[in-house]
Structures are given as C-alpha cells and as structure tokens.
Amino acid sequence: MARFERCDKDGWDFVAARDGGPACVRTGARAPASRRIALALEVWLALCVVSFGVLLLLDEVLDGNEVWGPLPPDHDAATAHHWCERLVPERFARSPANTYSSLIFVFAGWAVLCVGFIYRPAPARNHHRAFAGFTALQALWLVVGGLAALLAHASATQNTWTIVFDHASIWPLVTLPQALFALRLVPYGALPWLTERWYGYWLLFGGYLLLVVALVLPVAIGQTEQWVVDYMYYGVPVMGCVFVALLIARLVLEACRPRLYPHSTASVGLLVLSVTFAVLGFALQHPDRLGVCRPDSSWFLNTHLWWHVLQATSLFLAWCWAYFEDVADADYLEALAREREERGPRLTLLPRLPPGLFLEL
C-alpha cells in the first residue's frame, strides 16, 4: 500500500501515482487557507442575500393571480390550505412559509459551490475532490431542487408544470449521494483508467445522468397521478436504505481488506447528523399525516417548513463528509492517536480544579 503522507502545505496536492496510490507533488501557489475560507464565506453570504432579495422583490411586485392564475372556483379561503398553510392568493408566494423555506436548498447549493471552487481544500485524495464535475452537479441539483420547491409552493396549485418540476427535481437530489458513496467502494488510484485518463470520470458522469433521466421519466409521463405520488413517497426511503447499505459495505471492506481500503479520517459525526436530520425531516414532511395540521397557527409550527430545512441540511452534511473524506495509513492513525492523548479533551464541562482544593476548605 502506498504511504499516505501529510500534504497540507500551500501549493502541494495529491495526484495518482504510478503504483496506484497518491503522490504528494507541487501544483502551484495557493492563497492561504484562511483567505480562501473568508472569500468563500463572503461570496456565499452575498449569493444568499441576492437570492432572498430576488424572491422578496418578486413577492412584493408581482400579483399571484396574474402570475399563477386565479384559484379554482370552489376555493374556500376559510378552510382551504396548502401543506397546512393558509393561502394568500394575491401574493407571488401564495404559501409564504413553505416558499421562503425552500430557499434553504438554494443556500446549500451556493455553499457547495463556494467550498468546492473558492475554498478548494487540499489534498485531493478521493474521487469527489479529484473530479470537479461532481461538486458542480451537487450544487446544481440543490439549486434546481430549491427553485422547483419554491415555484411549487409559490403557485400552490395542483396539476401544473410546477408540481411536475418539483417531483422531478427530487430524484437528482436523492440519487447523487448514493452515487458518490458507491464510488467510495473503488479505492482512489486503484483503477488507472478512472483517475489518470481524461475520460474516466466523464464516463461515470454520463452514466449517472442517464440513470437520473430514467428515474425522472416516469414522473414526466405520469404527471401528477396518484401512482407518481406513491412512486416518490416510497422511492425516497428506499434510496435512503441504499445509502446506509453503501456505508455498511465500505465499513466491511475496510475491516476485511485494510490494505486496499484504508480507514477514513473524516469525522463520523457529520454522517450521524445527516442521517438523523433526514429521518426526522421525512417524519415531518406531511403535517396532516402527523395529525398536527393547523393552518391558522404560527408559521413556525408548520412541519413541512422544517422538512425543507432538515432535508437540505442533511444533503449538505452528507456532501461535506464525502468531499472532505480522507484516508490514512496505520502510521498516521497511530500518530494522530498519540497527538490526541497528549492534547487531552478539547471540551470539558467542568473547570479543572486542584485535587486538594476541597480538602483545604
């Protein structure tokens, strides 16, 4: 197994070596990490403010009846609701809380874009960082998914193109993490044609896009029929089970073939939070099924709003773990363990007091 050295200096990065492992080589000058982080954060905040400002401007200037058309004649303002939220027909965002909360997916997409193309952490010792197309696609799916949910909730009408767009955008969001975690089953550098040839990652990229088209096609054909709703409702949890199965498969391979699959140094905390938020968000998706549908209550109590927040956060955390995942050999892990023992715990709940303090009182 190739030795994994520390390669976190500015201007150095990992590339695939001839023996199949990564090699630390000089790739050119890079701005200091602190400067890149600051710039990425500034650009992300600017994009978020602009996105929110555009939606706010549309909501203030446009009339919902002119943009989306009038509501059905049988609409009863006293009882009708959209995902347990009262409609405001004259606003562009007829379902305000659900519409504005959809922006969290867009914010997550901007974050992926800024981390991957402005911060650009080194070293690149995994497939995710070795091919920028994966990062660009993750950002695109999050932004498109956010816009689709935003338009569907803004129109608040059934049997329209916004609903079909919203349903179709879900599959790219839930399939890309599975594809990236499936790629983890192939050690970085083990397949020269994948990491050393220009067409390697592009073949996988094109194959994944064909898979997305195959999954989205039934939604486009069935439009808003009930079987499409069931197809989406049960398909998403199945993809979540596939995600967990891929994680377990990688852990088994690390235990059985430690030389081929070295342990990851990425914190498992991100994955635990991601899975927790995904399960909690899925449970809160339908307020009426939970028996907590209160259209006249505060927007804060609308559970579908928190479905948006939790799912977008879950997807971003899963992406972060896959993007920042690193591998190390036994020597590095032993050195890291010694460093942690010497450093001690980073957080203590109680102050450190001298042992004889209470005896002197």
265 within 8 A of 327, measured Cβ to Cβ: yes
Domain of 139? 35-69+82-333
Query: Per the domain annotation, does 339 fall within a domain?
Result: no
Query: Per the domain annotation, does 296 fall within a domain?
Result: yes
Other C-beta atoms within 10 Å of 160: how many? Answer: 17
Q: Where are the beta strands (DSSP E) in the chain?
A: 12-16, 22-26
Query: Per the domain annotation, does 1 fall within a domain?
Result: no
- Measured between alpha carbons, how far is 302 from 309 in angstroms, rounded to an integer? 12
- Measured between alpha carbons, how far is 90 from 65 in angstroms, rounded to an integer? 6
2 within 8 A of 21, measured Cβ to Cβ: yes
Query: Per the domain annotation, does 141 fall within a domain?
Result: yes
CA atoms lying within 13 Å on the CB side of residue 290: 18
- Measured between alpha carbons, how far is 172 from 213 in angstroms, rounded to an integer? 9
Query: Per the domain annotation, does 356 fall within a domain?
Result: no
What pLDDT score does 312 carry? 94
- Measured between alpha carbons, how far is 3 from 328 in angstroms, rounded to an integer? 8
Query: Per the domain annotation, does 63 fall within a domain?
Result: yes
Query: Rg for the chain (alpha carbons), in Å?
Result: 24
Q: Record the tokens describing residue 18, joined without a space.
A: 């001839």
Query: Per the domain annotation, does 99 fall within a domain?
Result: yes
What pLDDT score does 141 carry? 95
Q: Record the tokens describing residue 303, joined without a space.
A: 């559970």
Output the CA–CA distances (angstroms, integers) from residue 97 to 3, 75, 80, in the order listed.
52, 20, 16
**pLDDT, tens digit, for every residue of 212-236?**
998 888 877 766 666 666 766 677 7
- Measured between alpha carbons, how far is 137 from 129 in angstroms, rounded to an integer? 13
How many structural domains comprise the chain?
1
What pTM was computed for the model? 0.81
147 within 8 A of 110, measured Cβ to Cβ: no
What pLDDT score does 11 carry? 47
**Average pLDDT for runs of 10 along the chain of length 361:** 43 44 50 85 96 96 90 73 86 93 96 92 78 93 95 85 87 88 83 83 92 85 68 75 84 79 74 88 83 79 88 92 74 71 62 50 42
Output the CA–CA distances (angstroms, integers) from residue 272 to 140, 182, 269, 318, 324, in the order listed.
25, 18, 5, 9, 15
At 147, which CATH number?
1.20.1070
- Measured between alpha carbons, how far is 279 from 295 in angstroms, rounded to an integer? 24
- Residues in CB range of 197: below 8 A, 6 or more apart: none
- Measured between alpha carbons, how far is 325 from 254 in angstroms, rounded to an integer? 14
- Residues in CB range of 69: below 8 A, 6 or more apart: 157
Question: At residue 249, what is the residue type?
Answer: A
Query: Per the domain annotation, does 12 fall within a domain?
Result: no
172 within 8 A of 212, measured Cβ to Cβ: yes
Question: At residue 57, what is the residue type?
Answer: L
Q: What are phi and psi of 44, to 5 degrees?
A: -65, -45
Q: At what angle do helices 200-222 and 226-256 cross, to 10 degrees?
A: 150
